[in-house]
Homo-oligomer: A and B are copies of this chain.
């Protein structure tokens, strides 16, 4: 994995040999982004297969199920994590008549397939989403949703990249995305690679630029989308979408169907992770303290944007529009 905590200062690739290390890397946000942690967990499960000393298929499946619990507990909000792990478990259960070594190989192969599909899915999403972007658009983008947040290409940032490659002149206002600065650190770094013009703003500034008439689109990813189209995503998405609505600016969530959780009726049912206060208090991760010595902080990592603030949800199968209760399920790929 690229250690995303060190960007943009240094580009460091780290390797893991045990699923518990992968789970820890997900929790600590070495890797982050809903699709990326799904793929990471899939390979974590493959590692668990090779770690296992199982002599029988039953023992191996039991070890895989234990590893699945560990991996799924690494972070609670993004559904892609559980989706990826469950998909692989479901897959290998079909082969319980095979050998232990075969099943180890099947887990790895399915993890690789899942990762490869993510790139394919992202490009299809990008093509659908790029149709929504006009030449000359200034786009507010929240958090990081690019190649770093996925296996490659990205979700919302993938749409921006596709529109740019189509020759549309676009400008990105990059929400810095406190507290961990995924926008200022990661999205800015990616946009530098792609040569797409951008400026960084603090999260509380996007409304100012919208009111000034400078913003035509708002794009973000999703960590979990419920059956009614409520979107759990990085903290700050709700206030951003609210400002877009207040200014008549379309706000799109860009996410693969693996992010859609039809088992939950609405966003109030999504578990919201609350992370360590130090991320808020120290400004820099494990860095400089800028707040009073005894200060306390809160640190919810996600919020839920109600469906009334979402213009459309861009998936690999097309763009879903309200009423999401009716239209979203049509886009979910039931074969995956």
Q: Residue A205 contacts which of B176, B201, B300 (CB distance < 8 angstroms)? A: B300
**Is A239 close to B, CB under 8 A?**
yes
Residues of A in contact with B, size category: 35 or more
B239 touches A207 (CB 8 A): yes
**Is A15 close to B, CB under 8 A?**
no
A290 touches B235 (CB 8 A): no
Interface residues of A in 171-225 (CB under 8 A from B): 173, 175-179, 181, 184-185, 188-189, 192, 198-209, 211
**Is A328 close to B, CB under 8 A?**
no
If A204-B236, A297-B199 touch, does A192 touch B292 (CB 8 Å cutoff)?
Answer: yes
A280 touches B200 (CB 8 A): yes
B211 touches A280 (CB 8 A): no
CB distance from A12 to the nearest CB of B (A): 16
**Is A335 close to B, CB under 8 A?**
no
Segment of A147-155, A160-168, A281-289 engaged in the interface with chain B = A281-289
Contact string against B for A residues 221-242, beta-carbon threshold 8 Å, 1 for contact and 0 otherwise: 0000000000000011011101
The main secondary structure of chain A at its interface with chain B is mixed
CB distance from A190 to the nearest CB of B (A): 9
**Is A304 close to B, CB under 8 A?**
yes
A188 touches B295 (CB 8 A): yes
Query: Whose C-beta in chain B lies nearest to the C-beta of A234?
Result: B204
**Is A113 close to B, CB under 8 A?**
no
A181 touches B242 (CB 8 A): no
**Is A303 close to B, CB under 8 A?**
yes
B236 touches A205 (CB 8 A): yes
Residues of B within 8 A of A303 (CB): 205, 207-208, 211
**Is A243 close to B, CB under 8 A?**
yes
The 7 A-B residue pairs with the shortest CB-CB distance, nearest first, are: A204-B236, A178-B202, A203-B204, A208-B303, A207-B239, A200-B297, A8-B292
Give 23 A-B contacts (CB < 8 Å), ordered by A residue.
A181-B283, A184-B295, A185-B291, A189-B292, A192-B295, A198-B296, A200-B281, A201-B298, A202-B203, A202-B280, A203-B204, A204-B236, A204-B239, A205-B300, A207-B236, A207-B239, A207-B303, A211-B304, A238-B243, A242-B246, A283-B284, A284-B288, A284-B290
